[in-house]
């Protein structure tokens, strides 16, 4: 196993560390399940590299809360996955470990900042990987690489042992090659049992600005909803009037919070990647305060829309995975940022291809109703439940 992982790593730079031997779990509902962990999440006895040289850090003294839950349930931790330095970019470029590339096309990005975890799952290295999602860093790379990605309701999965970026946006998320493993791991991490499959699904198909996307991406998303094999689906047009400004408000909060997080984490004597240095110098407390007032109104607007439907749906990204170098990183999280700001649970569901590149359907649920959202996603399953 280690040899095949190393060969794949050499091709797409998905890992920063491959553990040999792996850290085994025990008996439990996830017994024997191989899991990779993003390298900003602590694994006991292993350096949390944060995309930097490993000799800059000491080994973690204990597992992060999410890792501890997986290992207690029997999972086996096989390695740490690549990320941009300090998870500071929507594209996984890294001068120390190489740029993580998309298994569907090695000239293209796997997204970020959890691109290493997405690529590891999409390439078949592991069936499950942990990532972190602040503004779409799980659901976006899952969509670009063609695997399943789950961002929980903010605060539902314990983030203890995860390097903070923007605490009111940060979550631990899950990548999986199929919905069965996604539901199993989510149940362990959230402590919520799986919900029964829905008999039917009312989907709020989001309009402007979520239709401002590549036509081939929109076609794949609409076809997935129309051709859903497992359950009857009724689509209802939904418009969220505040959606156009939500991403900018989310960005204001992110920059203010990450500025303070980096002030506590970074060595003032060192120079970091340009994406880190830019965030180190950013932060506008007045804009962030205004954005926090907006967030409460935005959450209410989403909740009202979800009173009429079971889930909201849109493309997870407006485009397929772009080639390196990526000219517009912000575009990759344009559809995810608004729901991350609101703290909503979201799932990226693989829904076919556009021009032979993966497309992801974004499903958004009610806050705290993650089990119902996951059940809807799994039983919609327009891609047949496989990442590749």
Catalytic residue among 89, 114, 137, 275: 137
Radius of gyration (C-alpha) of the chain in whole angstroms: 19
Judge residue 223's burial from the number of C-beta atoms within 10 Å of its C-beta, 0-12 exposed, 13-18 middle, 19 or more buried. Answer: middle
Which residues fall within 8 angstroms of residue 64, CB to CB, at 6 or more apart?
Answer: 41, 42, 43, 159, 160, 161, 162, 172
Closest CA to 256 of 225, 288, 233, 234: 288
Would you state the structure tokens that stand for residue 89, as one six-digit string? 């970019």
Buried b (16+ CB within 10 A) or exposed e, 157-186: bbbebbbbbbbbbbbbbbbbbbbebbbbbb
Choice among 80, 88, 89, 113 that is catalytic: 113
Give the pairing of strands 34-38 and 128-133.
parallel
Active-site residue 137, yes or no? yes
Is 113 in the active site?
yes
The active-site residue, picked from 38, 88, 89, 117, is 38
- Rounded alpha-carbon distances, angstroms, from residue 236 to 145, 311, 312: 28, 10, 9
DSSP codes joined into one string, 316-340: SSSSSPPBSSPS-HHHHTTTTHHHH
Task: Specify whether 38 is catalytic.
Answer: yes
Residues 91 and 79 sit within 8 Å (Cβ to Cβ):
no
Catalytic residues: 38, 113, 137
């Amino acid at each position: 196993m280690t040899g095949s992982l190393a060969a794949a790593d050499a091709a797409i730079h998905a890992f920063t560390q491959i553990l040999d031997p792996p850290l085994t779990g025990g008996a439990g509902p996830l017994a024997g399940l191989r899991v990779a962990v993003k390298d900003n999440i602590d694994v006991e006895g292993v350096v949390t590299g944060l995309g930097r040289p490993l000799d800059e850090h000491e080994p973690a003294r204990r597992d992060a809360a999410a890792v501890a839950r997986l290992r207690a349930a029997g999972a086996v931790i096989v390695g740490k996955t690549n990320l941009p330095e300090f998870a500071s970019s929507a594209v996984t470029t890294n001068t120390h470990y190489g740029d993580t590339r998309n298994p569907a096309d090695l000239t293209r990005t796997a997204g970020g900042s959890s691109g290493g975890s997405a690529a590891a799952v999409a390439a078949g290295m592991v069936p499950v990987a942990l990532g972190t999602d602040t503004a779409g860093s799980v659901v976006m790379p899952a969509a670009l690489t063609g695997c399943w990605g789950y961002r929980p309701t903010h605060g539902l999965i314990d983030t203890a042992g995860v390097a903070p970026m923007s605490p009111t946006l940060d979550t631990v998320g899950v990548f999986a090659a199929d919905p069965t493993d996604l539901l199993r791991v989510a149940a362990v991490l959230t402590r919520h049992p799986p919900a029964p499959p829905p008999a039917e699904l009312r989907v709020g198909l989001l309009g402007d600005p979520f239709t401002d996307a590549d036509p081939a991406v929109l076609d794949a998303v609409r076809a997935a909803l129309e051709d859903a094999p497992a359950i009857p689906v009724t689509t209802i047009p939904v418009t969220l009037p505040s959606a156009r400004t939500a991403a900018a408000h989310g960005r204001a909060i992110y920059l203010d919070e990450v500025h303070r997080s980096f002030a506590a984490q970074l060595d003032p004597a060192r120079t970091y990647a340009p994406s880190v240095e830019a965030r180190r110098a950013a932060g506008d407390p007045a804009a962030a305060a205004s954005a926090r007032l907006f967030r409460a109104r935005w959450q209410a607007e989403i909740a009202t829309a979800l009173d009429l439907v079971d889930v909201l749906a849109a493309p997870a990204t407006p485009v397929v995975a772009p080639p390196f170098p990526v000219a517009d990183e912000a575009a990759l999280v344009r559809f995810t940022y608004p729901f991350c700001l609101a703290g909503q649970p979201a799932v990226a569901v693989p829904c076919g291809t556009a021009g032979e590149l993966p497309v992801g359907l974004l499903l958004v649920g009610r806050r705290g109703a993650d089990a119902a959202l996951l059940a809807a996603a799994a039983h919609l399953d327009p891609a047949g439940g496989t990442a590749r």
